[in-house]
Amino acid sequence: MPQGKGEWNQQQMLRARELRNGMSESERVFWRAVRGDQTGTRFRRQVPKGRLTLDFFASAIDLAVEVDGEQHDPEIDARRDAWLASQGIEVMRIPSLHLFDPHLREGQLQRVWQRVQEKLSERGLEPIVPFQKPPRKRKSVGDP
Write out the DSSP string of 42-93.
--EEEEEETTEEEEEEETTTTEEEEEE-TT--HHHHHHHHHHHHHTT-EEEE
Q: How far apart are CA 88 and CA 43, in angstroms?
A: 17
Q: Are the CB atoms for 52 and 27 separated by under 8 Å?
A: no
Residue type, 134: P
Phi, psi of 21, deg, nearest 5? -75, -20
Q: How far apart are CA 50 and CA 61, in angstroms?
A: 18
Per-position pLDDT tens, the chain of length 144: 444 444 456 666 665 566 555 678 888 889 888 887 777 888 999 888 888 889 999 999 999 999 988 777 889 999 999 999 999 999 999 999 999 999 999 999 999 999 999 999 999 888 775 544 445 555 556 555
